[in-house]
Amino acid sequence: MWSAADWKDYEVIDTSKGEKLERWGSYLLIRPDPQVIWNTERIHDGWRCPNAHYHRSSKGGGEWEFFSLPEQWTIQYKDLTFHLKPFRFKHTGLFPEQAANWDWFSHKIKNAGRNIRVLNLFAYTGGATLAAAKAGACVTHVDASKGMVGWAKENAKASGLENHPVRWIVDDCVKFVEREIRRGNVYDAIIMDPPSYGRGPKGETWKIEESIYPFIQLCSQILSSNPLFFLVNSYTTGLQPAVLSYMLSSILLPKYQGIVSAEEICLPVTVNGLFLPCGASGRWEGSYGN
């Protein structure tokens, strides 16, 4: 497992009965989590006095119940600052478990000994974009949602990165990559965090089981001749680490050699020292540089 264990402003305090108790800065949230299938006793006081609680509906979806939570607040991870706010589908605008990947590729970028161009696809509110930029990379941030790109820009400004070379693109990721191929543009590293299902700004349909393998193939065409890394994240149940490893190995190793690894990403749970699984990541590392 790859664990995001270096947070100070975030923690999973406890998990039980389909929910997790989290601390986001100064605020306690209770949110549902499908991985939490155990019914352990809820001892921590936070279960009884959260700042907000997201209730899953038996009909699908759900809604927030607020007690004492501001409309927006910030937390930090090392030198990065993120704006948070509760919005639909239980989310806050950040996936803290991804810090395990931020640390990994930041080290690679800092030690590459050259300028690195990173393409971040399905880039959401910019966690990976900010981490790569802070490490010294030039980043192209692509997401189909104008609102998410705007949020990412706010996070960049809060992190002191508003003048860093980041291109902010609102576009369907597949269409963007196809255009980059025609333009002859290349990147030294690619990060993608594809949704299970989604629609582009012009109604383009994305179904991960059908789309992810050909999309990785497509993206391999815009890698430079000396690529540094390729990172694929998945929160879809069927895309286990072995599946991510198989895809990256079959597409990238024949041309670039290097190393492929894949693991569950997870978060430590404070009350018992165990780990909560949060998805999977597949990493390809080039044979060149560090």
Query: For every residue of 255-285, which 3-state class applies, written as one string?
Result: HHCCEEEEEEEEEEECCCCCEEEEEEEEEEE
Does the pLDDT at position 210 exceed 90? no
Radius of gyration of the CA atoms of the chain, in A: 19
Answer whether 155's CB lies under 8 Å from 128's CB: no
What backbone phi and psi angles, to 5 degrees, belong to 10? -140, 145
Tell whether 151 and 185 lie within a shared domain.
Answer: yes
Q: Which neighbouring-strand residues pair with 117?
A: 138
Q: What is the mean pLDDT of the chain?
A: 94
Does the pLDDT at position 275 exceed 60? yes
Q: What pLDDT does 238 receive?
A: 74
55: domain CATH number is 2.60.40.1180
Does the pLDDT at position 273 exceed 80? yes
In this prediction, residues 235-252 reach a mean pLDDT of 92
Name the band, by pLDDT with cuts 50, 70 and 90, for residue 206: low
- The string of pLDDT tens digits covering residues 40-62 is 999 999 999 999 999 988 777 89
- Distance, in Å, from the CA atom of 284 to the CA atom of 47, rounded to the nearest integer, reads 40
Tell whether 54 and 106 lie within a shared domain.
Answer: no
Name the band, by pLDDT with cuts 50, 70 and 90, for residue 196: confident
Q: What pLDDT does 239 receive?
A: 85
Count: domains in the chain: 2
156: domain CATH number is 3.40.50.150
In the chain, the amino acid numbered 50 is P
Answer whether 209's CB lies under 8 Å from 270's CB: no
> Considering the domain boundaries, does residue 237 fall inside one?
yes
- Distance, in Å, from the CA atom of 237 to the CA atom of 100, rounded to the nearest integer, reads 20
Name the band, by pLDDT with cuts 50, 70 and 90, for residue 228: very high
Tell whether 66 and 123 lie within a shared domain.
Answer: no
List % helix, strand, coil for the chain (3-state, nearest 5): 30, 35, 40
- Distance, in Å, from the CA atom of 223 to the CA atom of 216, rounded to the nearest integer, reads 11
Does the pLDDT at position 237 exceed 80? no
Name the band, by pLDDT with cuts 50, 70 and 90, for residue 208: confident
> Considering the domain boundaries, does residue 188 fall inside one?
yes
In this prediction, residues 258-269 reach a mean pLDDT of 98
Strands of the sheet containing 62-66, edge to edge, are 10-16, 19-24, 27-32, 52-56, 62-66
Tell whether 106 and 222 lie within a shared domain.
Answer: yes
In this prediction, residues 14-20 reach a mean pLDDT of 97
> Considering the domain boundaries, does residue 258 fall inside one?
yes
Tell whether 155 and 261 lie within a shared domain.
Answer: yes
Taking each helix axis from N to C end, the angle separating 127-134 and 99-110, rounded to the nearest 10 degrees, works out to 30
- What is the reported pTM? 0.94
Of the residues 61, 84, 107, the one at which a domain ends: 84
Q: What pLDDT does 57 receive?
A: 84
Question: Residue 74's domain spans which residues?
Answer: 7-84
Pairing of the two strands 259-268 and 229-234: unpaired
Tell whether 132 and 271 lie within a shared domain.
Answer: yes
Tell whether 129 and 203 lie within a shared domain.
Answer: yes
DSSP 8-state assignment for residue 233: E
Q: What pLDDT does 287 receive?
A: 75
Q: What pLDDT does 58 receive?
A: 76
Name the band, by pLDDT with cuts 50, 70 and 90, for residue 288: low
Tell whether 75 and 116 lie within a shared domain.
Answer: no
In this prediction, residues 154-159 reach a mean pLDDT of 98
- The string of pLDDT tens digits covering residues 78-127 is 999 999 999 878 999 999 999 999 999 999 999 999 999 999 999 999 99
In this prediction, residues 238-247 reach a mean pLDDT of 92
CB environment 64-92: b (16+ within 10 A), e (fewer): eeeeebeeebebebeebbbbbebeeebeb
Tell whether 143 and 184 lie within a shared domain.
Answer: yes
Pull the structure tokens for residue 43. Answer: 């001892």
